[in-house]
Each structure stands twice: as C-alpha cells, then as structure tokens.
Structure 1
C-alpha cells in the first residue's frame, strides 16, 4: 500500500472534529467528503476484554468506570453513526481474566445450547469477525469450542494447528479457518451501493504452547506469526480480497524480528498484501503519546506500523480501536486512498486525577448478562479456601508480614511451575513482593485485615491492589543485594542509642518496599541509604543489607537467581538499580491476583504465617517510633522477628507503635 500524505487532515484535527454530543453526531471527514465511486469504511476493534462485560470490579466488589464492554458498546453506537459504513471485530483474550470467567468455567460450566455471557454480549453488538488470544486456552480446548459454538460471527486463526506435516503452513491441519473474506455492501458518496470484499486473517502468540502446555501438549501446535501470514495472504489476494486486515493478538516489539516472536505485529505489518493491523495482548494503547514512542517503524502519533494503519485498544473495554479508510473504486474492486487511526477511551481523568465516565452502559448488554452478573457476585463473596492465620498489613513495613508472605508464596509456586521444563529449571527461585495497603495517605483504615478462617475471592483485592501481571527476572546475587538496598530506603538513618527516633521515610512509597523471600537478611539502620529515590548510588560505602544468606550460607555475588515479581518492577518501575526489561526471562499471561486465587484454590487452606526471613540489626538502647492503624494493636503479640510496643495515639486516627531495636 503506498504511503499517503495528509496535508489537510491530521489525526489531531480529526480528533478535535469528532466531538459529539447527545444531540449531534459529527460525520467522519471521509464520510462527509466521499464522492461517487468513493466510500468511507470504518473498522472498529475491541481487544483484551477478559470477560469484563460490565463496569464492575469483582475483586473489590464495587463498580469501576474504567472498564466494561457495556460501556464500550455505547461508544460503538455513536461511532457507527459517525461512519458511512462500518464493521466490528474482536482481537482476542475475551474468555478469561476475571471472576465471571472463572465462575462460568469452574462452577456453572457450559452445557449444549448454553451461551457464555461474553458471547451473549458480543452477539448483541453484532460483531463481524474475531480471532483468538492466548487466554482463550486457559480452560482447555473443549471448553473453548463450546463457548465459540454460540458466536454469531466467524473466528479465524492462521497459526494454530492440530498437526503440521510440512514446512508449508498451507499444509497444516488447522483448528479454524485461517481467514475469512466478508462481502459487505457499502454506500459511496453518491448513495450508490456495491460490495467490497474485506479479508480478515487471525493470529495467536505461539507461546500458548508454553503457557497452556497442560491443555495443548499433544493436541495442538503453533507456527510463527509472520511465516503464517506470508503463506496465507497471497491466497486471500487470489480469492479477490480488496482489503486484507490482520487481527493480531500480538503486541508491538521493535527489538528486531525473531523466530516465533510473541509480539510480532510490527513485522507482521511489513508482510506484503496486508493493509492494516489490529493489535492487542500488551494491554497498551496505540496510537498514543507514551507507550510506543521511539520504536523504528512505529509512528505513535499517526498510528502506523511500517507505514500501514494500526491500532491497539487498551484492555478490559477501556478503548475502542478505530481504523478509517477512504476507499475508491478500482475497476471492479476497491483500493485504499487514505486512512486515519484512533484509540477512543470510555473515560478520562479530571484535574484531581479522578475517573470520569464518558459513556453510560448499553442497556441491552447489561440485560443480556444480568443473571450471570448476580451469580458471579455470589461466587466472589463465597469462600474459595481458608487461611489458618489472619492476613493483615499493619506491621508490613517493620517486620515480616503475612499479607506479603502469601503473595510471595503464590508467586514462587507459580514461577517454579512455569519454568520447570525450561532452561532455567535448575536455578533457585526467589520472590519479591511489597505491601500495598500500608496506611500513609490512604489513612488509618488503609490496611489489609482478613481474619483467620474462610477467604473469598474478593479478599484477594486486599492482598493485591493492582492488576499487575507476573514476570520473572534473571539476576545475580549482587543484584539481589542491591535490590534490597534500594528497598531499605523505606527507613530513616537512626543513630545508635537514639530514643523514639522516627523510623519511616514518609516520602518512600510502600509499594516500592520489596521483601525478597528465599533469602535471609538483616537491615542495619545505623547506615545511610546506599541509593537515592532514583536508584542512583549516593553512599558507595554504605551497606544497610547485612548477613544476606541463601540456604544458610553467605550469598554468592555471582550466583544466578530467578526472582518472581510483577511487570511494574521487572520493567523498571521504582528505578531499582539494574532491574529493567533486559533482565526479564518470563512474561506470564496471568495477573498476580489470578495467581493468588489459583494458589488458594489449590492449597485449600493457606498458611500465611510470616517466616521472619528478615529483621533489623539489633542496636543496644535504641528505639524508633512509627504509626499504623489502631486495629494493629490486636496483632502486636503475634509479630515475629521484631519487638513492638504500643506507644499511644498518633495523628488523624493513627496509633503509635515503638520498635525496640
């Protein structure tokens, strides 16, 4: 497709011109200016819905205005009204990802004739085509096919096969049609109607064979995304497709093309014959100002990959992806003469960073899943396991803590299972986790507090506030030490012999105070912080982390360790020294919350008791003061590895406690 210049129509001016109110719909400029033998075609994308049909956080058991296909559906109505002609596609990861998905898969099941709530909603909205994401396989092939049997539109996937008998992808025995060519009647600028043949070809990350080996091993195989495209796109051309659209459940990675690449959409766009790419999988937004700037071949302002229009529409229904084409008759077919791209959100944040919904629910979608929503609420409020001890975070910053311990236990369990058959299977696995609810600006009630006994899925929100995904990094023993040195910036330096010195550095966020399980260590508060808040070495001679041991012996600075963490930390969040994307060896398809839930279900009864693998170095005659929630007084006697005393009332509802060093 030739490169198109847009002297009179920029994306910025387009976004400004598309402002619409309930009383007025502004036509897209292509629809307004199309002449005879010209037509506007808009293709709309949803991606990574993860069963978020409604704007509701089942973990927190409360509404959430940043998500929900029911909200995106309201956008669809107005977006269709702006367009001369339109089509709607889904780009995968719709079947798993929140408690409604788990409820259907594990509790209600799928009998013959049943419709999954996500499919019910999609059928209401009139999708034209869809492809698969990696999470479609999380519940097994049989379940997936039962769900897809209820869809009122075709699914395509060109790189998933039952068997591969040759090097030619066209010889594969595929589970789905690799592509579909839909003939759509479109109206041109003069009002005349004629058909355009739009081809959709779908792709799934080849890594599903690792992520869901228990469901797919011996039953399925995957091919490289770009190789499959090079094989099938010419066939689509031969069959008369006017436009070829890639539905790529694969992200954008500019690090260079490699075999069986997970995030291959940039290089997929370079395949001759593909006219546009809808992407997903990474839960990011393209085009946009921040997520993909600086990648060669990707224009994050205009929304192109290799010069071709491309969109990634966020996740959980947060955005609607739009690619608009101005088509022109070319003999008996159509060709693209212009395009624009956009990822349109369902909400914005006001000056105080509060979420403001831009659209309301679409009643038809809400009604379609009412029964399943109510059943899911009962499900998340019902116990899924037990905890043998309370889960609380009142002292997470001053002693090894049960709320952080259970997160580490789950992460270690998960990563060991994920890596057990790969090249890292013989390396020791550590786990880094931080307390999220630890008072501070959240107030005196902002703490985890789950009593011993039954534990429900929604309690996981108390353990893990953020929708992070699990990742693992490969680092040395010396880098483990520096990770902990950075974490120790949580504390003020304390002079030996000081009485009731302030303990906590109030400018240090609790979510950056990582405890690393699998090693033992002490923190020497008499030392200054080795690193500043930006991870810069400011006190080269300072070493707060002392007696760091692995398996009872001093840690070897050169030994290699796998550390389970989250995507925020592994990607450089918090500016920890030498911890960044280049250390990542495993990117999980699962959120940390989901892993914790699965761990609880498998264990039946969890034991969150902290193992006291870290403590402060004793300092004779020294005490320090910190604040926590007053309910923490209940648990003072249970704290391991630290001597804590009540010290009266603090400000704004907090209680004071004394750490005896």
Structure 2
C-alpha cells in the first residue's frame, strides 16, 4: 500500500513546482532535495509521553500553557511532512494517563466498547502509522486499555508483554499484541519513481509495569527483558523482508552497563543487530539535546546516535516532535540506509527574557473531536471538595518540611489507620512516606503546587498528587526506615564545611523519589556522601546522612516493626529503595492516593496543612548551598520552618535562586 495520503508523497520536481506556484515556500530537507534516482528520503516522526495532553492547557493551574499539547505538535506535523519526500508518524507510548482529562475519562465518563477516548480521537486525525505502549497505559487496568486501543486507526506492537507466564523461548510467548508489524509502503525516489519498501516496526514496554501496576497485572501478564525480546524478534523481521527496522522503545537512555530487565535500555537495544533506528521516551527528556547525556559511552547527544544508530527522544506532553531522517538507497530489490540526521523539534521557544513564546497555534481538526471532553474535564476539576485554612505550596518541598507533602502524609496515615484498626496489625505504629511531585526541575519554573487558603477543588487534589497510584502499606524495621531515608537523601549533593554556595540538588534525582517519612523526626547531614546510589546499591558503606532519627522522642529501635503508608509504585520497588519491595506489602488498597486525599478533606471539612517540621538539615560549619525554585515562592519564603534561607536573585530559565544557610 502507498504511504498515507496525509504524508504528502511528492517528488522533488512536483513539490518544487507546487511551491513555486504558492505564496509560501517550504524548504525541503537536504535528503529530499539531493536524492537521485534510486535514492529516497524517508522521514519518521515521533510523539512520546503525551499523557493525555491534547489541549495546550494546564488543568491543575486551570489556564492555557504554550509548552504542551498534541494539538500544537500536530500543527508542526503538516509542515514537517512537507519538508520530506516520504514520511511515517509513530507514537512511543504513555498517552493514556497523566492529567485530569485522563482521570475524568477513567473514573467519571468511563470507556465502554465502541467509545473513542479523546486522546485516540486526536491521534486518529493525524494518521499515525504505528504505536507502542508505555507503562502508564496500564494504570487503569487491562479492560480500560483495550477498550481505548480498540478505537485507534493505527496498529500497536509490543514484543515483551505476554499473557500469563513467559515461555522458555521469547518467540513462544503468548503475547497480548503483535511483537512487530511490517508496513508495506510505496516510496518515491529522487527521480519521481515509485518503488515498494517494507518498514518493520517493533515495540517495547518497561518490564517494571509488573511492579508498578501489579494490582492490574499480577497473574494476568508477564514482561520480558527488552533486549532479550529484540534479539529474538528482529531476525524474524528481517526474514520476513523488512528493509528498515525501527524500534519504538518506551524506555530511556542509561549507560551504566546492561543489566537484566533494565527500565531504561534504549542504548543497549540500539546495539541489537538488525535494528536501524531507535525511538526512545519514558524519561521526559530531549535527545539529541543538552548535556544530560554527556559521559554515556555509546551515546552521541550532538549527532543523535546510540551505538552509532540514529535515535531520538521527543520530550514530553507534546513539547517536541522527534525526527529521524534517512537517506536510503536501492540495494538490489530492497533498500539500505546511506545517511541520516536526527532532531527533536520544539513547539515553543524562549525569548531573550526567557519568556515562553509559542511557535505554532492549535490544529483545529485535533481540537474539534476533543472539545466536549475538554469542557467536561474543566467542570470536573473545578468541583470543590472542602477548604484549607492555609496555603498549600511546594516551592520549598526539597529543602524543608512542606505543606503539600504534609497533607498527603496526613491523609495516608488517616486512611491506613482506619483500614488496619481491627486486624492483626492494629497495634503497630504507623508512619507515612510521601514525596513532592511538582517541584520545578524539568517541568520548569511554574511547575509547583500553589493552592491559596480557601476552597479546595478536585483540580487542587490532582495537583497535589499527579499520579493515579493506589495506597499500600509495608511492614519494615527501624533499620529499614533509616535506609529508606538514606536513599531518599540522594536528592542532595555533598556540602563540606567551609564550602560556599554549593549546588544543593542532584539534577539526576527525580523529586518523586524524595520521600519524607512522617511519624519520625530526623536530620540530614550533607557533609556526608550519599550512602546509596540511584540504583539502591550501597555506594558509601561508612556514610550516614540520616542522623538523630527518633520515634516518639527516643532513638529509633533498629529492630522495631513499623507500618509505612505509601503508594503501589514505591511499595512495589519503584525508585529502587533498599529492601523496599512487594514482599513487604501487608495491605494493598483498592483506592487511589488521590481518592484518599479527597475523602480525607471531605471528612475534615477544613484541613490544616501546616508542616510539622519533623525533618531538617544538620548544621555544616561555615557552609552555604544554592537551590532554585519558582519565583512565586518568594511569597512564602518567610513561612518556611526549620531552615534559614535567603533570596539569592534570579536564576536561569525563569527560576529564582535561594541560599540555604547550613
């Protein structure tokens, strides 16, 4: 079959002739312009990690946002197709969950057979050729996912997700989806001649979905290592006649060496013989791009290659369109790659004052089928559930005990105490672990919770707790509580006595892994190196950042048993915290953490979110450290408890800089 008509298959001559007759001149990609007879330009476009962001709208802040939205990404697709000789459009997963529209559809409107999910309605307009799954497709259960996917006009592939148990051979796994598809297309070369081409597309999901969504998947599914599955199936794609093989990997880029069942395996996937190009995602980063990738052997963030092969990661929420451009040449009856370029093209830029400037507007064809669900989502998120006597904000959540984290802990403790009050665990002390989700970082200078005193709406609860995690409780010892906090303290860089204005926060440490544990008191000694690395491995055995850890005013007993209220992600091993895994779970709730927060607010009527300052930094003589937060944080700086901070001026990219006096 030919390429989709939307891909605007044109030869150089016919396209340039059309451009000459038009008032708008579109520049062809150099490959399209220079391709000769027997050569052709093939452009493959990627979206990834859309997370239901169809509209350029922040439902948490209840205002438009020019940095996101598939409707904006869609506006550059037409122009980008026009630059190309031939093109395909693929999606790399995590489209089904991630903002209040996703929750509204899942929990309020529902998905019956025959319904079209708004994100699928938007994608259907754009003419995708293929897609794969991300981990968040499983958050609402398998039935919901399949009802959603049934509405898609494009196929989905996933080579490492099996029904029931894994077989002894990957090729004998009973898969939920086709492991790959071969797209039979007709390509136009530089002389305007049409020829058939077979493009193979194979997909992969992070194996960790079995931990993160065990409640939906346990006993029903199993996942295989990404590279292992690729090594089994890619030769079959070649045997079936694929000229070009592209991998859709909802998996990021790490370079610490290959390990079994890696979450971020894209680098090693690129090393599989027969794969020609890799589309990555999951990490919400941009590749090729900035220095996040420096020092990873085999990754070239300038040229945009992994193991020498073209690769791209297109940001998140529609912020970029990933492009891999291939110059291909006839090789007997097939095609081979002779040159390539990669790019992640943004939908916005910042001006000389670092203000956000939209590069494109909305694509009306994408907006139209989603408009009704957008309006319904707005009504849903504006619904009041109670009041707060004080503001809820997260501007200083990484440097001091914080009201936005406190209210989550209060709700979790309230819920677990009630759930366990009559069972065998009724007499165990209950602690609660919660992390700040909106704490700037990659999300930008506005990516913070900021709820004024007064009414709390559902949008505010969703803002406090971004993910549809479910509540779980684990049974751990005092020693494991300490190590939990030691792993969490990897958020901070080391600060030695006498050092001034050291960067405080470790940029590679996600804020959702910075757990604060309520019910104990403790201090963090930044003069010590981190005890654990990002994989939960003991990096500095003699280091102890967590000091003066106490329960009910007394030093914690390493042998005492505690129940810790948390979420299914952490309890299942998410974040690789030492000894925290599914075997510690003693209670798995059917309720999401967000539902629990709503119920807590309804029960209280008016909540008091004031932080209790149960943790702080230990003094480090003559030392200071710098951290960034949103400029609106200046409003609350004087209220921050347990630390001494001072305004240090404006930072980069719209952030404000503060100095922590240690």
Q: Is the 8 A contact 1:248 1:277 kept in 2?
A: yes
Q: Is the 8 A contact 1:411 1:595 kept in 2?
A: no
SS at match of 1:156: coil
Following superposition of structure 1 onto structure 2, how do residues 107-186 of structure 1 map, counting pairs within 5 Å? 107-164=108-165, 166-186=167-187
Following superposition of structure 1 onto structure 2, how do residues 113-512 of structure 1 map, counting pairs within 5 Å? 113-164=114-165, 166-383=167-384, 385-386=385-386, 391-392=391-392, 402-409=403-410, 430-431=433-434, 448-451=451-454, 455-460=456-461, 463=464, 476=482
Question: Is 1:45 aligned with 2:46?
Answer: yes
Q: 1:63 maps to which residue?
A: 64
CA 1:178–1:95: 2 relative to 1, 3 Å: same
What's the CA shift for 1:321? 0.4
What's the CA shift for 1:609? 5.1
Q: Is the 8 A contact 1:434 1:515 kept in 2?
A: no
Q: 2:83 maps to which residue?
A: 82
Between the aligned partners of 1:163 and 1:482, the Cα distance in structure 2 is 34
Q: 1:16 maps to which residue?
A: none
What's the CA shift for 1:605? 3.5
Between the aligned partners of 1:93 and 1:304, the Cα distance in structure 2 is 23
What's the CA shift for 1:114? 1.4
Deviations 1:126-175 (A, max 9, x none): 00000111111111111111111111111111111113463111111111
Deviations 1:185-240 (A, max 9, x none): 11100000111100001110111111111111111111111111111111111110
CA 1:87–1:414: 2 relative to 1, 3 Å: farther
Number of matched residues? 539
Q: 1:520 maps to which residue?
A: 521
Q: 2:594 maps to which residue?
A: 597
What's the CA shift for 1:531? 6.2
Q: Is the 8 A contact 1:279 1:312 kept in 2?
A: yes
Q: Is the 8 A contact 2:388 2:456 kept in 1?
A: no
Deviations 1:31-90 (A, max 9, x none): 000000000000000000000001000011000011000000011011000000000000
Q: 2:648 maps to which residue?
A: none
Q: Is the 8 A contact 2:114 2:151 kept in 1?
A: yes
Q: Is the 8 A contact 1:484 1:545 kept in 2?
A: no
What's the CA shift for 1:559? 11
CA 1:344–1:585: 2 relative to 1, 3 Å: farther
Between the aligned partners of 2:210 and 2:430, the Cα distance in structure 1 is 22
What's the CA shift for 1:246? 0.5
Deviations 1:227-285 (A, max 9, x none): 11111111111110000111101111111111111111111111111111101111111
Q: Is the 8 A contact 1:474 1:583 kept in 2?
A: no
SS at match of 1:96: coil
Between the aligned partners of 1:128 and 1:394, the Cα distance in structure 2 is 41
Q: 1:3 maps to which residue?
A: none
What's the CA shift for 1:551? 4.2
Considering only CA atoms, is the larger Rg found in Structure 1 or Structure 2?
1
TM-score of the superposed pair, with normalisation by structure 2: 0.70
SS at match of 2:597: helix
CA 1:519–1:25: 2 relative to 1, 3 Å: same
| Aligned-pair Cα RMSD in Å | 5.0
Q: Is the 8 A contact 1:163 1:174 kept in 2?
A: no
Between the aligned partners of 2:292 and 2:191, the Cα distance in structure 1 is 40
Structure 1 gaps, min length 5: 1-20, 418-425, 490-504, 524-528, 535-543, 567-580, 589-593, 617-627, 642-661
SS at match of 1:210: helix
TM-score of the superposed pair, with normalisation by structure 1: 0.70
What's the CA shift for 1:407? 3.5
